[in-house]
């Protein structure tokens, strides 16, 4: 059971403090912050204990979300509860950051009061909570969101009329019932996280995909929705469907509210989504990607005369020509003591920077079209360069975002609301692949 829940800013300011059982001292927030700040590493461990009180915390949006307890609860439950709290605040306020928490503290207290009683979790369901929560969220409106509204989804293309503005899904859920321009919208997102390790010989050593289908619903009440996946979607190794290239995942699990009676034959998920964000389906695929990994790297590292290190990188994007990767960032570790960097990049919108503290060179590419090949030459000045220092170059890490692309090939055939849904509703389907970890050895 939970004794206290509190939220601290990264500087230790008290943002939220709610005591449920009155059994832990009031200064536990300071105790916790002292423990966190006295640790040397940048990441304090998830569970810490002090004089019989266990503190379990998560980091999100730069804040510490902490539960203190005197018992020995299930860590899975507490961590999941804190994550759920963050998600609920995000649903209500649109985004989560120190500012929104400060502005909406009355709302958060109200939420906590309904979610937890005497340290026991009562409910975290949006459907139930929305009947009880009376405080209006105060939306923090970063000026940029409206300016960006003509930039399309994920900032990739400008087709103002056809796609939802990128800020659309980052607004509070509940504004619609206050009548200030809330639209009846429903977003279905297919989000995949890719983690890949490519060996120095170019062989893919590991390729995992963790994917999920999420629904974010702004409709106050929604009738049954039907979502059709690819017909050739198959689970496990043995089962193959359809004649085309199979879309295969290893394992798959569903939200408990999803009805699966048409899943086996037609690959249709049925659900009555509640307001807010839900994960309908999670799936994993290990090692057998249907397509080649999105990026290949051809590096050359050599010692120049004197104390200069030459790193020549040729990076190829193996996506289909129509799609593109955005916000690509390539991190190259360089030897300790690297002093300065001079670079030759192929276009002016790219940047490269040496970060001596992390001993890395970071090469940023805002947009990388499929099929293209970019190259960069880095000359790094390293005072005491030895041949062994070359060992310190690598492995290269990449982070990027692939809008409108799924690595498993999972697609939604349709998203249909039942005909007796009242009022017009806009449906949006979005695909995106994030790099969870993309490592290329040199």
Partner 1 sequence: MPYFGCEETVKDLKRALSNPNVQADRLRYRNYITRVIRCMTEGVDVSSVFMEMVKASATVDVVQKKLVFLYMVTFAGVKPDMALLAINTLRKDCDNPNPMIRGLALRNMCNLRMPGIIEYIHQPVMNALRDKSSYVRRVAVLGCAKIHSLQPNAEIDGGMVNELYSLLRDPDPVVMVNCLRALEEILHHEGGVVINKPIAHHLINRLKDLDSWSQSEVLTFLLRYRPRNDDELFDILSLIDTFLLSAQPPVMAATLRLFLHLAAAHPTVQADALMRARGPLLAACGAAAREMRFTALCHVQQVLRSQPTAYGSHYKRFFCAFSEPAYVKLRKMEILVELVNDENVALILEELKSYCTDVSTELAQAAIKAIGRIGRTYTEKCLDILTGLLALKQEHITSAVLQTYRDLAWFCPQSTAAVCRAVEGCDDLPQDDEGKQALLWLLGVHGEQISNAPYVLEGFIDGIKMEISSAVKTELLTASLKLFLSRPAEAQDMLGRLLHYCIEEDSDMCVRDRALLYYRLLQCGVNETRKVLLGPKSDPSMTIITGRTEEPVNHWASSFNTLDPLLGAESRAQDVPAEVSDADGEIRINDSDQTFQNGTLREAGDTDGTPDASEEPSLSLSPLVSHDAFEKLWMELKVLHRQCLGVPRPSVSPDTLNSAFQLVKIQILAYSRSDARPWKLYMYSWSGGSVILAELLQDRADEPHRHGNLTLSIKQHPEEREAVEGFVSVVLNVLRTLSSANSN
Within residues 305-334, the interface with partner 1 by CB under 8 A covers 331, 333
Give the Cα separation of 441 and 157 in Å (integer): 33
Residues that bind partner 1 (rule: CB under 8 A) add up to a total of 87
Within residues 339-378, the interface with partner 1 by CB under 8 A covers 358-360
Give the max Cα distance, the chain. 76
Sign of the torsion angle spanned by Cα atoms 9, 15, 19, 24: positive
Q: In terms of CB distance, is 95 or 282 closer to partner 1?
A: 282
Half-sphere exposure of 421 (CA within 13 A, CB side): 22
Within residues 72-101, the interface with partner 1 by CB under 8 A covers 72-77, 79-83
| Parallel/antiparallel/unpaired status of strands 373-381 and 340-345 | antiparallel
Which one of residues 100, 389, 406, 408 is an interface residue with partner 1 (CB under 8 A)?
A: 389
User: To the nearest whole angstrom, how small is the minimum distance from the Cβ of residue 81 to partner 1?
Assistant: 7
54 binds partner 1 (CB under 8 A): yes
End-to-end CA distance of the chain: 49
Which one of residues 25, 35, 97, 105 is an interface residue with partner 1 (CB under 8 A)?
A: 105
DSSP state of 180: S
Q: In terms of CB distance, is 124 or 327 closer to partner 1?
A: 124
422 binds partner 1 (CB under 8 A): no
10 binds partner 1 (CB under 8 A): no
Whole-angstrom CA distances from 221 to 184, 189, 261, 272, 276 are 10, 20, 23, 9, 11
5 binds partner 1 (CB under 8 A): no
Which one of residues 394, 402, 405, 410 is an interface residue with partner 1 (CB under 8 A)?
A: 394
Q: Are 399 and 438 in contact (CB under 8 A)?
A: yes
User: To the nearest whole angstrom, how small is the minimum distance from the Cβ of residue 45 to partner 1?
Assistant: 5
Q: Are 210 and 410 in contact (CB under 8 A)?
A: no
Task: Tell me the backbone φ, ψ of residue 285, rounded to 5 degrees.
Answer: -135, 130
Find how far residue 406's CA is from the centre of its chain. 15
49 binds partner 1 (CB under 8 A): yes
User: To the nearest whole angstrom, how small is the minimum distance from the Cβ of residue 151 to partner 1?
Assistant: 25
Which one of residues 2, 5, 8, 16 is an interface residue with partner 1 (CB under 8 A)?
A: 16
Which one of residues 106, 240, 260, 339 is an interface residue with partner 1 (CB under 8 A)?
A: 106
Within residues 143-162, the interface with partner 1 by CB under 8 A covers none
Stretch that binds partner 1, among 11-19, 289-297, 311-319, 415-423 (CB under 8 A): 11-19
Stretch that binds partner 1, among 126-134, 140-148, 158-166, 176-184 (CB under 8 A): 126-134
Stretch that binds partner 1, among 13-21, 265-273, 317-325, 400-408 (CB under 8 A): 13-21
Give the Cα separation of 83 and 56 in Å (integer): 12
User: To the nearest whole angstrom, how small is the minimum distance from the Cβ of residue 372 to partner 1?
Assistant: 24
Q: In terms of CB distance, is 254 or 428 closer to partner 1?
A: 254
DSSP state of 276: E
Give the Cα separation of 132 and 113 in Å (integer): 10
Within residues 246-305, the interface with partner 1 by CB under 8 A covers 251, 253-256, 282, 284, 286-287
Give the Cα separation of 42 and 36 in Å (integer): 9
Q: In terms of CB distance, is 89 or 163 closer to partner 1?
A: 89
Give the Cα separation of 362 and 379 in Å (integer): 13
Q: How many CB atoms lie within 10 A of CB 334?
A: 24
Task: Tell me the backbone φ, ψ of residue 241, rounded to 5 degrees.
Answer: -130, 155
């Amino acid at each position: 059971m939970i004794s206290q829940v509190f939220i601290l800013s990264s500087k230790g300011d008290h943002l939220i403090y709610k005591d449920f059982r009155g059994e832990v001292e009031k200064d536990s927030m300071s105790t916790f912050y002292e423990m966190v700040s006295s640790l040397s590493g940048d990441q304090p461990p998830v569970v810490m204990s002090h004089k019989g009180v266990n503190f379990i915390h998560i980091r999100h949006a730069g804040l510490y979300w902490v539960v203190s307890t005197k018992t020995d609860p299930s860590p899975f439950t507490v961590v999941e509860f804190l994550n759920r709290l963050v998600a609920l605040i995000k649903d209500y306020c649109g985004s989560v950051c120190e500012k929104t928490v400060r502005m909406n503290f009355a709302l958060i207290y109200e939420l906590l009061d309904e979610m937890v009683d005497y340290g026991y979790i009562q409910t975290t369901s949006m459907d139930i909570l929305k009947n009880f929560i009376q405080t209006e969220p105060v939306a923090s409106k970063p000026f940029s969101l409206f300016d960006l509204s003509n930039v399309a989804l994920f900032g990739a293309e400008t087709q103002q009329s056809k796609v939802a503005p990128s800020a659309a899904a980052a607004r509070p859920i509940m504004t619609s019932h206050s009548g200030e321009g809330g639209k009846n919208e429903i977003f279905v997102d297919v989000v995949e996280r890719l983690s890949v390790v490519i060996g120095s010989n170019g062989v893919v050593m590991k390729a995992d995909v963790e994917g999920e289908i999420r629904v974010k619903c702004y409709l106050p009440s929604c009738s049954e929705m039907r979502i059709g996946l690819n017909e050739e979607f198959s689970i496990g190794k043995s089962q193959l469907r359809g004649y085309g290239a199979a879309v295969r995942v290893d394992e798959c699990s569903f939200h408990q509210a999803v009805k699966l009676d048409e899943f086996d034959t037609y690959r249709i998920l049925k659900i009555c989504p509640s307001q807010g964000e839900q994960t309908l389906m999670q799936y994993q695929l290990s090692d057998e990607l249907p397509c080649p990994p999105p990026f290949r790297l051809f590096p050359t590292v050599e010692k120049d005369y004197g104390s200069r290190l030459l790193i020549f990188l040729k990076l190829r994007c193996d996506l289909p020509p129509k799609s593109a990767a955005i916000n690509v960032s390539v991190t190259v570790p360089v030897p300790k003591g690297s002093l300065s960097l001079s670079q030759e990049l192929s276009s002016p919108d790219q940047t490269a920077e040496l970060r001596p503290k992390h001993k890395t060179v970071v090469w940023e590419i805002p947009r990388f079209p499929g099929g293209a090949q970019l190259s960069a030459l880095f000359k790094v000045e390293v005072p005491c360069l030895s041949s062994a220092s070359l060992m310190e170059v690598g492995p290269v890490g990449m982070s990027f975002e692939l809008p409108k692309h799924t690595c498993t090939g999972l697609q939604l055939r349709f998203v249909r609301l039942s005909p007796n849904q009242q009022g017009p509703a806009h449906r949006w389907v979005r695909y995106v692949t994030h790099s969870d970890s993309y490592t290329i050895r040199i």
